[in-house]
A = this chain, B = another copy of it.
Amino acid sequence: MIVSIIGGTDGLGKWFARFLKSRDFDVVVTGRDVDKGRNVEKELGVTFTRDNIEAAKKGDIVIVAVPINVTESVIREVAPHVREGSLFMDITSIKEIPAKTMEEYAREGVCVIPTHPMFGPSTPSLKRQVVILTPSKEHMSNPWFKKLMDFLEREGARVVIMSPREHDKVMGVIQGLTHYAYISLGTTLKELNVDIKESRKYASPIYELMINIIGRIIGQNPYLYADIQMYNPQIGHIHETFIKECIKIKDVVARKDRESFVNIMKEAAKHFGSEAVRGLRYSNKAVGAIIEEMEKLEESIGKEVALKHIYTGNIHYGILKDIVDDTIVLSKNGKEVRINIANVSLMGEEELEEWKKKNLNRYFYDISVLFRESVDEKIILKLLKGMFDVEILDVYQKEKVEKGFKSITFRIYSYNREELPKLKKHFLEVIRNIGGKERYKE
């Protein structure tokens, strides 16, 4: 079966190309950039063409995966060429416009299923991911619909079905209102000339959280965010409602109408119901996570730490010397390195141990000791592992070994070569205390 992905050389389109290829579909992708297309062809083992219409003609399934602002025109271009008996989908974050355009331009006998996969291209699979489908009733009785549902359910996706209008209303709030409010807050802080870094000095945890979310959102791809706002027919009403509420509360505050303010808050709380309590709890958790990391960092001063850079993935390993504002001072092989806290995360103890095993030189020393032959070396090893980085290399019982005894060869490890002699001495002391003795004694 051939799947043609219009705009499959990038983003979520490319994700679906890779994913469907791995599920044994023949995949054709299109894109404007020929070089990129050739690379994707090689990378994923799919077929690339620059010709949207050719791809549309070929596909048993045709998926439009272009940016929101060109979705309508691309649908108009390809829809008349999608073969009768095929499945025709799009995967845009808005649904009214593409659904209407697909219905209008697709031929009789084509099954139209407008789709919004609620995840980004960093997701590993469809498992537990929400996929919203907005087909008309007519298309829901097409056999393609059942096939698609079966496929998505087999892959573990959580499928939600709603009308395109309902979708745009819901997403107008979940994406539209959220982005809109935080971008407006961001520009307000700019207009008020608030020094963001300075303001954090007096910040409440919730202000700090707000600043973090604003910073996150205004740092995203502005074209995508523009399109999410502009191509959702429901957004105008949502914006207007929000502005109306802002003006209402501003007026209540301006005329010092305490009772009305209290009522507004109470009514909103009533609408939220138990979700308000949930919010308190989860926002505490969110705030706590940040404080907790700071505390852990502060406790680690003077100790060895590994800091993982959140963008490059590089590990900075060394002794944490000090924390000055947002800067970590790390001593790395004797050199002082300064790292912005915002760019790194502190690796946990277990993760650090694993990283050290993989990345640092571990020095070792092998010691053969004698235990009575009745001794179970598994029990001995389990006890010793609580105190040493140790494994058993060999258990040997025949020739050259004193009668009634067996020889156990341990390998003890250290990241510090100079410490090995001391470690060996300590290890042997423990061994002697638990009934063992050194095999070769000078």
Contact = CB atoms under 8 A, between A and B. Distances in A.
A337 B144 CA distance: 44
What range describes how many residues of A lie at the interface?
35 or more
A210 interface: yes
A395 interface: no
A379 B429 contact: yes
Nearest to A228: B253
Contact of A222 (B215, B265, B429): B265
A155 to B, nearest CB: 18
A272 B218 contact: yes
User: Which has the most chain B C-beta neighbours within 10 Å: A118, A283, A382, A430?
Assistant: A283
Interface stretch (A48-56, A82-90, A236-244, A361-369): A236-244
A216 B276 contact: yes
Contact of A283 (B216, B241, B277, B380): B216
Copies per assembly: 2
Contacts of A235: 253
A178 B230 contact: no
A187 B268 contact: yes
A97 interface: no
Q: Decide if the interface of chain A is mainly helix, strand, loop or mixed.
A: helix
B242 A188 contact: yes
B204 A380 contact: no
Interface string A45-64: 00000000000000000000
Contacts of A227: 258
Contact of A177 (B188, B243, B293, B343): B188
A180 B261 CA distance: 11
Nearest to A435: B435
Given A174-B203, A196-B275, A219-B279, 16 more contacts: A132-B202, A173-B194, A181-B181, A183-B249, A184-B246, A187-B264, A188-B245, A215-B279, A219-B277, A239-B249, A243-B243, A286-B286, A286-B287, A382-B387, A383-B384, A434-B435
29 contacts: A118-B202, A160-B202, A174-B199, A174-B202, A178-B210, A182-B210, A183-B265, A187-B267, A189-B271, A190-B268, A209-B209, A209-B283, A212-B278, A214-B279, A216-B276, A216-B279, A218-B272, A219-B280, A222-B261, A229-B261, A240-B250, A278-B342, A286-B287, A286-B289, A382-B387, A383-B383, A383-B384, A383-B434, A434-B434
